[in-house]
Structures are given as structure tokens and as C-alpha cells.
Amino acid sequence: MKKYKNILKNRKDAAEKLESVIPMQRLKDENWKLISVSKNGLELARHISLKYKNSVDILFSEAVMAPHNSECEIARVCEGEEMVINEKLVHAFNIQYDYIYGEAHRKHEEKILSYIYQYRKGRPFQSMYNEIVLLIDEGSETGLKFMAALKTILAQKPKAVYIAVPVIPSDVLELLEPFADDIFFLHNIDDYVETALYYEDFEKIDEERIEKLLED
């Protein structure tokens, strides 16, 4: 764990280093669409987009937490109410599916719809049909954000879907590999703790900054 602590200075540093493993010429020639799977990841996506002015957007999602553990994510719901569930945790804790679907619907109505109106002024997520998509985040504890995004976008029949992430747990990398055309990463970490640990500067992106990044 100590080996990887603060291995990245900030999101700009992470983006610059990711560009060494992303096929940037293809990103330009094939006009890849850059999609962040989190609000904080949007800053990273914007840095990567600057070289060739690729379009950037965000696919909003919200976590469904375990009934008696507000830190245990058991599922994630996306903008079109697509959902992925951590079946192992659900079975281990004997969580009812009615609870999961109910919470997912509530999160969609109360959180995701408000994000769409606040940050995109009500504009729905653009179809990725026949597009080449690069999903981006600054890290991944569980892989559920990427899985929810993959489920949403693959249903839209893109030409290809790639993932770019500076740091990723080994088990999450293994989980995502069958669903993505390729995964570009810097550090594959066995004993992954939390993404913030691997950045010197991990300041949360505020609402005004998110709105500006999407407007640009």
C-alpha cells in the first residue's frame, strides 16, 4: 500500500501520464467521445480532451447502499435506470431485491434527475450509437461506476468502448476486461484502499467547476 501512496500529484498529472498509454492519435483520428463516469472524473476527462478537442460529457449514476451500512455499496443505478448489482454482497447479507429496486428508483428520481437539470440544463445523455467511447474516472474502488456505464452504453450499440483510469484494483481490472475493448491504466494495485490515497492533491470538484467543464 505504501508503495503507491501519493504516486500521482493531481488530476492534471494523472491525465498527462495516461496520455502515454492511451493511443492519442486514434483518439484524434477516430473522434473518440470522452465520458466521465463520476463528477470528479470530469476534470481528468477535460485534461485529456484538450489536446485534440474531443467532446466531453458525464454519465450520472448513484450508489445504492446496504440497508444498515451507509458505506457499503451494493448496487448502482444510471441515468436511464440501468442498474448493476453486487450479487455476492446481496446474497451474503440477505438483502431483499425489493429494497434495492426501490432505493434505485428513489436515487434516480431525487438525485440523478436533479443532476441532469442542474449540470446539463435538462439535456439527456447523448446516444453513443456507432461511436467510439472512452470511459474515464480517476480511480475505482468497486468497479460499479464503470459497470453501470458499460451497461448503459453497450445497449446503445457503440462501435467500441474503452476505459482509461490511472489507478485500479487488480480484481476490478479483471472484472471489467471482458466488457471493454481495452483498458488503459497506470497502476494495477492488489491491495487497493481508496482512490484519494494515491493522489497528493485530491480536492473535490465543486458544482460551479462541474458546470463550467460541461459548458466548455
Query: Rounded distance, CA 119 to CA 15, Å?
Result: 23
Is the pLDDT confidence value at 1 over 60? no
Alpha helix segments (H runs only) across 127-199: 144-154, 170-176
Joined grid coordinates for residue 168: 485500479
Give the length of the chain: 216
Tell me which residue has cell 474516472: 137
| Spatial contact of 77 and 107, defined as CB atoms under 8 Å apart | yes
Residue 2 has pLDDT above 70, yes or no: no
Confidence of residue 4 (pLDDT cuts 50, 70, 90): confident
Determine which of 30-34, 99-103, 118-122, 165-169 has the lowest per-residue pLDDT on average: 118-122
- Which pLDDT score, from 0 to 100, does residue 105 have? 97
pLDDT digits (tens, 9 = 90+) for 62-71: 999 999 898 9
Provide mean pLDDT across the span 187-203: 94
Where residue 214 falls among pLDDT bands split at 50, 70, 90?
Answer: confident
CA-based nearest residue to 167, from 133, 142, 192 = 192
pTM of the model: 0.95
